[in-house]
Amino acid sequence: MIKYIVVVILILQLNSFALAHLCLFNPPQREPFWGVPISPGDNACYKTNSNCGNTTAGAPVQSYKAGSTIEVFFQQNYNHWYQPNPGFLDVSISYNGDDGEYTQLVPTIDDFNAWDMVTQTNYSLSVPLPTQTCKSCVLRVRYISNNAGEPEPDFYQCSDIAIQE
């Protein structure tokens, strides 16, 4: 029985490294997107590659007026606060695809000690859009945890948007 309990604990600990950490609800993130509510560890939100989590760009899911302010709604699905070097979350835009240069749209949000990794924190930010238009650009939300104890400490979600005159 004790061996069985130890095996279950080890499996749960190993699985905690392959779970979700950042979700983008508005504008909708690229696939998979299952919408709100979302539970801690949902795989729809585990994207660790800096080029939008290796998701494929698609047609814009939202169109906005240039220079307008939009509400961006996202969730820090798992908190990876690291005391020696706390991380941050940010929102930015690229006019040249996933691997293009990103321009930060709002000040960074400092990570915080949630005291529990499975803490889910929702953010709704008023984000001013640039006056530059685009038929297809990328809005990216990023969580840089700086947590040296994580095998993949940074998380990304992207949405394909258009900005019109």
CATH of the domain at 131: 2.60.40
What pTM, to 2 d.p., does this model score? 0.84
CA torsion through residues 60, 61, 66, 72, sign: negative
The residues pairing with 24 across neighbouring beta strands, listed in sequence order, are 74
Number of domains in the chain: 1
Q: What is the pLDDT of residues 74-123, one digit of tens each?
A: 998 888 888 899 999 999 999 999 999 999 999 999 999 987 777 789 99
Quote the domain boundaries for residue 41: 2-164
Q: What is the pLDDT of residues 112-129, one digit of tens each?
A: 998 777 778 999 999 999
CB 93 within 8 A of CB 102: yes
CB 125 within 8 A of CB 106: yes
